Amino acid sequence: MHAISCKSRFSLLWAAFLSCLFLLPSSVLAERTPEGAAAKRVVSTIDKVRETVKEAGGKAEDSLTPKLEEIIFPVFNFKDMSRACLGKNWKVGNEKQQEEFVQLFSKLLSRTYLNRIKEIESSSVEFIGEKVKGKRAIVKTLVTKDGQKYPISYRLRDYGSDWRVYDVVIENISLVSNYREDFSSIIRRKEFDGLLEMLREKTASEA
């Protein structure tokens, strides 16, 4: 199961993206200045994460976990991401299973952040632009690591009080679509409880 085992190309790129987010140099996004609320939301989050890691010496210490989660969790709408990743299978689970899935999926992505911090020595991010249509926006960036360039776009939605990320697209591959395919396969074979059990095991191993 590629998404959970992190062996697929997308999962590796996703992990690289998350880790890049933590170790951005001070020149990040210097090429262009974001003007829209959605872009400012993304950029300010990156800056907060970078400063927090810098203050801690750039190390993935246990004390960093709650601090980083306080920054990350409000920006990503994990419930909407979770529902989208399951698609029609969201209704297969009962309310209790749905709640646990959101918690486990959120924790899985958060732990991926933390466990990849030490693996990235240098990276840079350039803000490319922002496209807003009604209550939805796409913020485009370009991550450069080890000479490789990765176009990464954040899909955000205006929830009234703020803009929050509900999907990330890396090299034209949607995080939501990628996980939906893998999760659907697991539910077909092992039902909803089987998916939850695999997520429990994965989050436990990432701790």
pLDDT, tens digit (0-9, with 9 covering 90-100), for 128-139: 889 999 999 999
> For the chain, what is the domain count?
1
- Highest mean pLDDT among 44-48, 62-66, 106-110, 173-177 belongs to 173-177
3-state SS class at 160: coil
pLDDT of residue 25: 44
pLDDT of residue 1: 43
CA–CA separation, 115 and 124 (whole Å) = 19
Exposed/middle/buried for 121, CB within 10 Å: 0-12, 13-18, 19+? exposed
Q: How confident is the model at residue 206 (pLDDT cuts 50, 70, 90)?
A: low
Instruction: Flag whether the pTM goes above 0.85.
Output: no
Is pLDDT above 60 for 50? yes
User: Tokens in use for 195?
Assistant: 């998916």
Query: Domain containing 112: what range?
Result: 2-206
Q: Name residue 76's beta-bridge partners.
A: 165
Which of 37 and 34 is assigned the larger pLDDT? Answer: 37
- Highest mean pLDDT among 6-10, 60-64, 79-83 belongs to 79-83
Report the run of H or E that residue 122 belongs to, with start and end: none
What single DSSP character describes residue 118?
Answer: G
Pairing of strands 136-145, 124-133: antiparallel
Calculate the alpha carbon distances from 91 to 3, 88, 174, 178, 185 in Å. 21, 6, 22, 19, 16
Nearest to 173 by CA among 21, 30, 12, 20: 12
Computed over every residue of the chain, the mean pLDDT equals 78
pLDDT digit string, tens, across residues 160-203? 889 999 988 888 888 888 889 899 999 999 999 999 999 999 88
CATH number of the structural domain spanning residue 79 = 3.10.450.710
Taking the CB of residue 173, how many other CB atoms lie within 10 A of it? 14
Q: How far is CA 201 from the centre of its chain?
A: 20
The total number of residues shown for the chain amounts to 207
